[in-house]
Amino acid sequence: MTRQERSLCRIRKKSMIDILQAKPSHRSVWETLWRQNIVHFGAADMTDDVIETLWQRILNPDHPMQAWLALEKTGQTGPADDDVVGLAHIIVHPHTFSLRDVAYLEDFWVPDTQRGKGIGSQMIKALTIVAKQQDWGRLYWLTAGDNIAAQRLYDRLTDRVDAVLYKIDTA
């Protein structure tokens, strides 16, 4: 399946939430939610050129980064008229133990005003469907140890992995 075909992949739920891969017409709704996310996580000083480069990576079919949006239908005609209620950035990459790619869920965000409505669960289920369609070996992510609300959601959807994360910041 090509990147363009994936951008048309859409999961429709009774709640009128569409979960689809971002395309150029989603720029403004994506950026609105992305800016909420970076403020929440203490990166409000992210420059416009970083945000623009991220968007260009998302749109580039040769780049492994993808953005998926949960859009609540408002009854209007196009994406600009929909309310963006969820955001997921994934990075598809090779795996050393398999010939199949895997997908890392780098960013996952549902605004506080939208939480408790099942949007996060719908998004992860939709991404799982895409992972199966694309024959990715796994969809995986990390969350903060004190993010109990997110852990409750994730514990309902999958099993925890016993692992410890280490990192070295180089910049």
Question: What was the pLDDT predicted at 5?
Answer: 43
Residue holding tokens 């959807």? Answer: 157
Please, what is the average pLDDT of the chain? 89
| The pLDDT of residue 45 is above 80 | yes
Of the chain, the percentage scoring pLDDT greater than 90 comes to 82
For residue range 117-143, list pLDDT tens digits in order.
999 999 999 999 999 999 999 999 999
Q: How far is CA 43 from the centre of its chain?
A: 18
Please report the beta strands in the chain, taking only residues with DSSP state E, as ranges in sequence order.
10-12, 17-21, 65-72, 83-95, 98-109, 139-140
| The pLDDT of residue 28 is above 90 | yes
Count helices and strands in the chain by DSSP H and E runs: 5, 6
For residue range 76-104, list pLDDT tens digits in order.
665 555 789 999 999 999 999 999 999 99
Question: What was the pLDDT predicted at 75?
Answer: 67
- Enumerate domains of the chain plus CATH numbers: 3-157 (3.40.630.30)
| The pLDDT of residue 43 is above 60 | yes
pTM: predicted TM-score of the whole model, two decimal places: 0.86
